Amino acid sequence: MKALISTAKDFLYKTDFEWDKEITLQNFHPQLQIFLAINGVFFNNRESKIRDTFLTGQLLIWRLCWSWIGFISFISVLYVSNTLFYLLYQSTLATQDEHMIRPLIFPMWLPEDDPYRTPNYEIFLALEVILIYVVVLTFGLYVYILFHLLLHYYNLMDVILIALEELFDGLDESVVALPREDPRRQAVQDELNIRMARIVRWHLSVFDSVNDISSVYGPTLVYQVMFSSIVICLMAYQVAEQLSEGKIDYLFGVLGIGACLQLWIPCYIGTLLRNKGFFVGDRCFYCGWHETPLSRLLRPDLIIFIQRTQRPVAIKFTGLPHLQLETFSSIMSNAYSLFNMLRQYK
């Protein structure tokens, strides 16, 4: 058991990974090939602070993605195995009773027939197992890709912060007093323009990518936000009803936790993106421009960039409130109100 846990930990944390060797997307984080086309953009510049920050962020994404996949797989296996174990118990150990009903993963009712008789039972059991498999592949992968992409661009804003800190490093400040036509001043001006253009390009890529994600996932997110409060309320009601009868419905309890997580993840990451976007503007204001005369060469660019950062980085779509923790709190409050209403009018 210890060997299995150690192997899983080494896989998640990449403890056997050689950081000093050549690093590419293929051998570090293959999932990034889904949307990142520039292979090795931050991987092989070993003298830059950006490399370590980027690789550390991608390693965090790697662990979180596998954790989510493991959690979704655990819920699906729990539902299937619970039914199969109970069915095995009925077949081998339980006292045979003419009123004993074979279990289904999800209880069913038919208006003109008995869903628990043969062959209805076998057909519905197979269909429910297939349904769980489809849900894991679609919904689990949907949330996985969503927060994978958002965390990547959150990590990219950390890279922007480092680039702002290094904006004026290693440049000759005395060239400010030289004429504009002087080659030394032109060289420093060109280097500053290259650095600032790279920062602006990364920052714009964050906005463009988040807008693209919103347009692709927007309709799904609208339904997710609209119906999450009802789904969470019904799951909580089922658990509460079982508790009132002296039973613990752990299956619906775990499923309820999953329902809350699938909503909390995008809302929490949306809040992180919004706060990090504002923090980029603060970092630009305190990047040291007031301590160096080189800021005269970039003053208009810095002003425009700071103004640009006042626009929040948000996941938005028609009919969808911004995905933030405030949205999650509102949905959970609605779910609790519906839950109290159901309990009151039982």
Tokens of 150: 């958002």
Q: Both tokens of residue 343? A: 């309990």
What pLDDT score was predicted for residue 94?
A: 60
Beta carbons within 8 Å of 70's beta carbon, 6+ residues apart: none
Placement of tokens 């990547």 in the chain: 152
| Cβ atoms of 254 and 75 closer than 8 Å | yes
Comparing CA positions, the residue from 28, 132, 117 lying closest to residue 75 is 132
Q: Give residue 18's pLDDT.
A: 62
CA gap 252, 76 in Å, rounded: 12
pLDDT of residue 30: 56
Can you give the pLDDT at residue 45?
59
Query: Residue ranges per domain, the chain?
Result: 26-344
Distance separating the N- and C-terminal Cα atoms of the chain: 47
> Do the Cβ atoms of 87 and 196 come closer than 8 Å?
no
Position 46 scores a pLDDT of 60
pLDDT tens digit at each of 346 positions of the chain? 777 787 777 777 767 666 665 565 555 655 555 444 344 455 555 666 777 777 788 788 888 888 888 888 888 888 888 888 888 887 776 665 556 778 888 777 788 888 888 888 888 888 888 888 888 877 778 888 888 888 888 888 888 888 888 888 888 888 888 888 888 888 888 888 888 988 888 888 888 888 888 888 888 888 888 888 888 898 888 888 888 888 888 888 888 888 888 888 888 888 988 899 899 988 888 888 888 888 888 888 888 898 988 888 888 777 777 788 888 898 899 999 988 888 887 6
Report the distance separating Cα 38 and Cα 53, nearest Å. 17
Residues 6+ apart with CB under 8 A from 40: 23, 24, 25
CB-count burial class (<10 Å; 0-12, 13-18, 19+) for 244: exposed
What is the dihedral sign for C-alpha 141, 147, 149, 151? negative
Quick check: 302 and 179 in contact, CB under 8 A?
no
Name residue, tokens 């009123």.
99
Q: Enter the pTM of the model.
A: 0.78
